[in-house]
Amino acid sequence: MTMPAPPSGQSPWGPPPAGFQGPPPMMAQPRNGLGVAALVLGIAGVVLGLAVLLFWMSWLPALLALVFGIVGLGHARKGLATNKGMALTGLILGAVGLLLAVGGGVFTVTKVTEITDDVRAEVESAEASAKASASAEASASAAAEAARNLEFGETYTYENGLKITVSKPQPYVPDDYVLGHAKDNKAVQVTVIAVNGGTAKVDFKTGLPSVSDADGADAELLIDGSGRQKVLTGNLLPGKRSVGKYAYSLPPGAADRMQVEFSPDVMEYEDAVWTGPTK
């Protein structure tokens, strides 16, 4: 900086004359950086807070804007800064950004809780439905199982309309030439009546009953030469009736009660079971 010339006649190396004030003092630069930072960070905090998926990023710039705005206002009050309005705006925006961050957090937690509750309710409902379905299936299975267990003389009807009835066993006297019958055993005759109540023919492939005595032991099929026995075989047309007759030998001590299982075809039909006394 160029120094002013001394008055005329004054020695440049002598003392200044009376009343000489010299050059003006240097002015300090305003400290406006914090106010600017507060404004920029406040804007960033508000923008991030308004973005639904970015609210969690807004709290830091908003907090810094709040701090810088407070410090910037302090500088402005002391005369160290000239951008009081900018600092105040940054402070306000920082506070708004913090509120948006908190609100976004509360909103997100609420929504996540609602979604979790909905998913849990759907899972519980699905589990309840599955249990109800399993219970219904079990009940239906138990009912079907009970329906297949009958007393002698009762009729079991298959889904295709085929009706099977096993009559109460009757005493049977084999002729002199017999197989499968011990001397002291009791011989009985089992009669199976089949009626085709459906609309399609029925093929008897395994029309031989399975018989067990009162002890649960398999009874032996009795075969003689009398010609009184008849096996259900071949096709049974709709509306037709067929009768099968079979003789079995039971031990004397287990001959008072028996069980008969029968199925027209074990690969296609489930067995039905008839039980009861032989007397």
Tell which wins on pLDDT, 139 or 174.
174
What does each C-alpha distance from 10 to 3, 15, 18, 201 come to in angstroms? 15, 9, 11, 146
Give the pLDDT band of residue 1 (cuts 50, 70, 90): very low
Token pair, residue 20, equals 């000489």
- pLDDT tens digits for range 178-191: 888 888 899 999 99
Nearest to 152 by CA among 134, 138, 139, 170: 170
- pLDDT tens digits for range 110-166: 888 999 899 999 898 888 888 888 888 888 778 877 888 999 999 999 999 999 999
Cα torsion angle, 40, 46, 48, 54, sign:
positive
> What pLDDT score was predicted for residue 241?
93
- pLDDT tens digits for range 7-64: 555 555 556 666 556 555 555 677 778 878 878 887 888 887 777 667 677 778 888 8
Distance CA 196, CA 235 (A): 10
Query: Mean pLDDT over all residues of the chain?
Result: 84
| CA angle, 224 then 228 then 234, to 5° | 105
